[in-house]
A and B are shown apart, each in its own frame.
Chain A
Amino acid sequence: MVMARNLIRRLPILYQNHHHRLFSSATAAVAPSPTPPVRNDDEEIVEMKGVRVSGRPLYMDMQATTPVDPRVLDAMLPFYLSRFGNPHSRTHLYGWESEAAVETARAQVASLIGANPKEIFFTSGATECNNISVKGVMRFYRDKKRHVVTTQTEHKCVLDSCRHLQQEGFEVTYLPVKSDGLVDLDQLAAAIRPDTGLVSVMAVNNEIGVVQPMEEIGRICREKGIPFHTDAAQALGKIPIDVEKMGIALMSLSGHKIYGPKGVGALYLRRRPRVRVEPQMSGGGQERGIRSGTVPTPLVVGMGAACEIAAKEMEYDTRRVTSLQERLLNGIRSRLDEVVVNGSMEHRYPGNLNVSFAYVEGESLLMGLKEVAVSSGSACTSASLEPSYVLRALGVDEDMAHTSIRFGIGRFTTEAEIDRAIELTVQQVEKLRNMSPLYEMAKAGINLKSIQWAQH
């Protein structure tokens, strides 16, 4: 771009306009396309971003997203084919059948969490729900309530919304967590002030899988008369949620974490006692004025179907995922030492296993595990090089935080996939440790923290 500009300056003034247009078209970006599959003997190989795999990797990243359940897809397809009406069209069959489908889905979501369908509002996802909850509640009560209590391990969208509020003049307390990832209930109760307008604690953490003591937090908030908001995107359909027992006033739900489609979520907003929010989307007043915009019928139907399936399958899935997690952890621990699980083992959703392998570098471990789709930390923070803020909040050392891997186990994971993941992980970790001088020194009994590294 700079070179083009220099050339233009040297050209006579008459030609500058014409040539400027020529040069600017040359600088248009060319989007890279993935190399098409290459036939190599009898193997079909996929190459993307310089990585070659001979088949689609086995998927163990359920916290990032989940595959759509075929039963959910079956429920959604008619609404992409013949029943494509807008649910807000009041005058014809297309609108009526679409509206009926949306209301059925609303009831399905409500029944999974023990709520009334009138308390469910469909949005574009849990991020939008978190925005509405945090910013919407505080802005509505801005004259009387100026303080928010949340934790340091919340999802980025909650933390970012709180930061936004701080810029508007509100105050936020970010509670630390204990080394097992759980919030300290006494600290929580002590942090609540007379002008606290909201307490936001996520039910199941997306990075470490820790389950917070929801009923106790709900009790504290109820006693003090403060609305309790929870981001239940990872918890829905996995742990039993009851908004009455847990004293929840606002809840963010996500479709694509429970084998539903991406692009849809639901907000639970309690009616008794009434919680008011300032809407973040202005428009035609759809969803009782809470969230304007056409409700996406096929996505909403998908989320409803996913919730209904989750209600039926929760017991079976939980039993299975628990036994698969044991298999994975025992398989890894039986062949490797110095494996640390991040976060409490007792208060955990079994489908999320975040482990750190000492003396192994995280990036190289991930690059070597290209046949297993896993992630380190969360998808939101993986763009930057800094270690996950959640692990930092747990007090995990930086070198251990860098080497963490998050295994996600779900409804469709098989025993064979677990065994393959164990094998690949153990092979890769052993390979890296054999190359690691730090591991040699540690095995020789040297305390690495006591070393004075020389400067060259």
Chain B
Amino acid sequence: MASAAATAMAAPPTRAEALSLLRSLLRTASKFNDYNVREYIKRRSLDAFRENKSLSDPSSLASAFSDGKAQLEVAKRQAVVYSLYAPKVKSIMEIKKL
């Protein structure tokens, strides 16, 4: 959870950059083998982008974007850690249909 010291100088993201960040977050989420964490990252990323859609002020846009990038770094690292210690048995939510 690095507090972004770089936000003071960052330029606001272009639409393409923001969409690319969202896609990376969703792609990284799918790498998690833990059902709950995977669903959380997908849902939280989409909801966060939806909430911030209406932002117009450049500095708050820049800080939201760099916050998102920091979260992406955390997610990438943790995807590796979780895969190293994946339990042999998957969650029941992934196995059985009712």
Query: Contacts of A411 on B, CB cut-off 8 Å?
Result: 40
Interface residues of A in 396-436 (CB under 8 A from B): 411-414, 416-417, 420, 423
Query: Contacts of B77 on A, CB cut-off 8 Å?
Result: 74
* Band of interface residues on B: 20 to 34
Contact B1 A71 (CB under 8 A): yes
Complex formed: what's the CA distance from A43 to B88 in Å?
11
Contact B1 A77 (CB under 8 A): no
Known: A71-B74, A73-B78, A74-B78. A53 touches B92 (CB 8 A): yes
Chain A CB within 10 A, most for which of B47, B87, B90, B92: B92
Contact A55 B91 (CB under 8 A): yes
Q: Measured between C-beta atoms, what is the minimum distance from A327 to chain B in Å?
A: 15
Interface residues of B in 77-91 (CB under 8 A from A): 77-78, 81-82, 87-91
The residue on B at minimum CB distance from A308 is B1
Q: Annotate A69-84 by CB proximity to B: 1 below 8 A, 0 otherwise.
A: 0110111010000000
Contact A55 B78 (CB under 8 A): no
Interface residues of B in 18-74 (CB under 8 A from A): 35-37, 39-40, 43-44, 47, 71, 74
Complex formed: what's the CA distance from A59 to B43 in Å?
18
Contact A54 B75 (CB under 8 A): no
* Band of interface residues on A: 20 to 34
Contact B74 A74 (CB under 8 A): yes
Query: Contacts of A74 on B, CB cut-off 8 Å?
Result: 1, 74, 77-78
Q: Does A175 contact B (CB under 8 A)?
A: no
- Choose one: A55, A57, A308, A371; the contact of B94 (CB below 8 Å): A55
Subset of 8 A-B contacts with CB under 8 Å: A46-B89, A55-B90, A55-B91, A58-B92, A70-B78, A414-B39, A414-B93, A420-B98
Residues on B close to A: CB < 8 A?
Answer: 1, 35-37, 39-40, 43-44, 47, 71, 74-75, 77-78, 81-82, 87-96, 98
Residues on A close to B: CB < 8 A?
Answer: 37, 43-44, 46, 53-59, 67, 70-71, 73-75, 77, 305, 308-309, 316, 371, 411-414, 416-417, 420, 423
